[in-house]
Structure 1
Amino acid sequence: MLQSLPDAVVVADADGRVVHANPAVTELLGLDPDELVGSTLSALMPERLRAAHNKGFARFFATGERRLIGNTVQVPALHRDGREVAVDLTLSVVSRPNGAELVIAVLRDARPQIQLEQQLEVSRHLSATLQVTQALGDSPNAHVAFERMLPALCERLDWDAASLWVPHSADGALVCSGVWRAPGMDVPALRDATVARTFAPGEGLPGAAWQGRRVVVMDDLLDNPRFTRSDAAQRDGLRTGVAFPVMRGTTVLAVCELFSRGTRPVSDELVEVLSSAGRQLGQFLDRLHAEGQARELARTLQQSLLPPRLPDVPGVSLGARFRAGGDGMMVGGDTYDVTALGGGRWMVLIADVCGKGAAAATVTALARYTARAAADGGAGPSAILAAVNAALMHDDQTSPLPYLTAACLLLRPNGSGAEGLVSIAGHPLPVLRRANGTLEDVGEPGLLLGVDPDVTHLELPVELAAGDTLVLHTDGVTEARDAAGRQFGEEGLRSVLSWTAGAGADATAQSVLDAVERHVLASPHGRDDMAVLSIQC
């Protein structure tokens, strides 16, 4: 039975010698199971961990202490080529008929899960950035902006308390402008110690961020001599602190502190998020009433939700167009993505989030990063949509209505065309234009995402021959209304694809966009976001 398991299984005796290993250990660590037999378990781990392992293993058999038995922990394992591989390790013990005990170690590749967690963390960080942007955009003045920004940042990033410091021109020191705490939590000692004092440049946590014009992290407030409010932190149970400056160019306008009751790592990604938040605040304060700045910020966010450029896919040409809807609101919920998966496979995704603005952009980012993570893990289009659906159902704070439609395609060029699988979640069906000009819908309609946690979607095959063009689009194309209220419709899209037969992928996408723009010219009806992605073999 062990031989057929997909996870690597290593069995060792009381001396820590391997007595059996199944074939999966080769795929995971590049080791020959037969060669592994007779070696010590410590050979599976990096050199720096072997002494501690040997000591713990000996204590285990000497005392019977079995803290890890039955639990799964993430540890580094050593690959044959010398690199480290993150694995989820589960230990169990069995007894032989003679009473001797064997340790069974099950090792599962943790990298797909780590990658998914990292992608979700990026989505959460982007969500926090967008929440900050929304808080700023809705604020009539700087005071209200800070009042809204700190709760938004802390709630999305799970920090327990925050404080705001501003330079006081009279004495050249930072003075406290306010202290915020998470709902249901109180930090009286920190509040009293904070509002009662000032900080010079380089002094304490806020002074260090002020002087250095950068994010400053203090992992353990109680043991860091530079943190001058350690007594207050201890009374309130706070352990980790981080401060970031609010910048206008090279000028520090303010310093924000965040505090956590738990000891928590501060990743480079989070540092960048906080740096970005500080820069955004500085820009907002510098040009609070400038409508053009708001549009530019929104445009930057929108571009972050779309590929900066389409990749080069062997044997396939791509074309894409996007137009944001609304009157000057550039942040929309439409997105598309084309991602290499290895082995000659590509994921193609197009999605349309309910609503507009920062909330819709947050859901869009979550969907895009989740889809990428699931695809990198080997999921098919139906499973990719299921992963996005699970993320939407879980992230109930993202938007009042966090649902979207999507079409997901896994494509493999084969030299004479391409083949793949497609799943549809409440999205307009892609249209396939054959090389001879005939048109056909691709896929089967399915329920949109974010509504039913148990929804599943069909996977249907799709084949593209040389000269075929597959056009994916959002409903902003077909639902665009002219001055009389008539929709562009599926008929309008098919008409464009018919008279552009023979055009390349890029020209096809541009033709669809141009036709819709002509249709809505002088229309009083609101315009939705619109995305078009064409794939031609």
Structure 2
Amino acid sequence: MFGGAEGKAPFAGALQLITNSLEYDLGAFWVVNDMRMVLDCAEYFSRIPQEFPQFETVTRSRHFSIGEGLPGTVWSTRGVLHIPDVTSAENFPRSSIAKQEGLQTGIGFPLFYGKTVLGVIELFSQQSPAVSRQMKEFLFALGGQMGVFLERLAADRALDSADAQFRLVAQAASVAIFTIDEQSKASKLSLLLARKPSSIWSSCARPCTIRMAKERNRGSRLRGPF
């Protein structure tokens, strides 16, 4: 949903900022794949590059279904999840690799818009930092703010995609193509035509409207008063 270099840039910066600010060793950013209904790893950040190579490799290549692992559980519950010991947690498929590379604690929070989870951020540490109720509330609120950004980005990309599709069809068409917005104005016009959308609307839609009005008036005159 948020693929491409342009989409990854803001997420990479946000993930790095959150990981550093909360003093965790690494973080991963997951997005919901609506087509496959899984979480895909969109970004990964480690405060010490290549410090956890196997964990990074597995994380980048993994997909989590709803309820699976730390990110999947956050997705299903739409809440903050703290795992004090990821090496012994039952529902943590990466536990053996985490233990091998010295990771101890994990925490994840949802990025949501309304009741819909759009993504998950998870953080890991070699230490066992205390996680207070205030900390969980802060992460939940942060996830809500980031979710609004994700929703707006998705809407903007959907609009860009629709515009691009229209341009492709219009360029290949041999007839006029236009769309009408809520104010009954022609908002898009085939690139093959040099005329403005307003002139197209005037020349084809308005005469039709006038003819319909004349027919209604004539019908009224024929019926006459009773």
Name the aligned partner's letter for residue 238 of structure 1: L
> Take 1:249 and 1:237, find their aligned partners in 2: how far apart are those partners?
37
The separation in 1 between residues aligned to 2:138 and 2:16, in whole angstroms, is 15
Aligned residue type for 1:175 = D
Q: Take 1:147 and 1:242, find their aligned partners in 2: how far apart are those partners?
A: 18
TM-score, structure 2 as length reference? 0.62
Aligned length: 151
Distance change in 2, residues 1:184/1:169 (3 Å): closer
Partner of 1:246: 111
Letter of the structure 2 residue corresponding to residue 234 of structure 1: K
Which residue among 234, 237, 258 is the counterpart of 2:99? 234
Partner of 1:261: 126
Match of 2:198 in 1: none
In the TM superposition, what is the alpha-carbon distance from 1:289 to its structure 2 partner?
Answer: 11
Shift of 1:174: 1.1
Residue 221 of structure 1 and its aligned partner are, at CA, apart by 0.5
| Structure 1 unaligned residues grouped into runs of 5+ | 1-139, 291-537
- Alpha-carbon shift at residue 169 of structure 1 (Å): 2.1
Match of 1:275 among 140, 163, 174: 140
Per-residue CA deviation, residues 332-369 of structure 1 (Å, 9 max, x unaligned), is xxxxxxxxxxxxxxxxxxxxxxxxxxxxxxxxxxxxxx
CA distance in 1, matches of 2:148, 2:84: 29
How far apart, CA to CA, are the structure 1 residues paired with 2:100 and 2:13? 27
State the distance in 2 between where 1:218 and 1:253 align.
21
Q: Identify which of 12, 15, 40 aligns with 1:150.
A: 15
Query: Percent of aligned pairs with the same residue?
Result: 35
CA contact (8 A) 1:214 1:245 kept: yes
Q: 8 Å contact 1:142–1:285 — kept in the other structure?
A: no
Other-structure match for 2:27: 162
Aligned counterpart, 1:216? 81
**1:172 counterpart (24, 29, 37):** 37
* Change in CA separation of 1:251 and 1:141 when aligned onto 2, cut-off 3 Å: farther
- Larger Rg computed on CA atoms: 1
The TM-score normalised by the length of structure 1 is 0.27
Q: Distance in 1 between matches of 2:90 and 2:150?
A: 33
Name the SS for the 2:96 alignment partner: helix
More helix by share: 2
Which sections of structure 2, spanning at least 5 residues, go unmatched? Answer: 156-226
Whichever residue aligns with residue 12 of structure 2, its letter is E
Contact 2:8/2:43, CA 8 A, preserved across alignment:
no
Partner SS state of residue 254, structure 1: strand
1: CA distance, partners of 2:34 / 2:138: 28
Higher strand share: 1
Q: Secondary structure at the match of 1:287?
A: helix
CA distance in 1, matches of 2:6, 2:140: 22
Matched residue SS, 1:176: strand
Once the 2 structures are TM-superposed, how far is the Cα of residue 181 of structure 1 from its aligned partner?
A: 0.3
Residue of structure 1 equivalent to 2:54: 189
* CA shift in 2, pair 1:273/1:142, >3 Å: farther
> Quick one: structure 1 residues 287 and 175, their matched pair in 2 at CA, closer, same or farther if it must change by over 3 Å?
closer
Q: Which amino acid aligns with 1:150?
A: L
The corresponding residue for 1:315 is none
Measure the CA separation in 2 of the matches of 1:184 and 1:175.
21
Q: 1:157 to 1:185 in 2, by over 3 A?
A: farther
Higher relative contact order (Cα pairs below 8 Å, separated by 6+ residues): 2
| AA of the residue aligned to 1:278 | G
> What are the residue-to-residue correspondences of 1:358-377 with 2, within 5 Å?
none
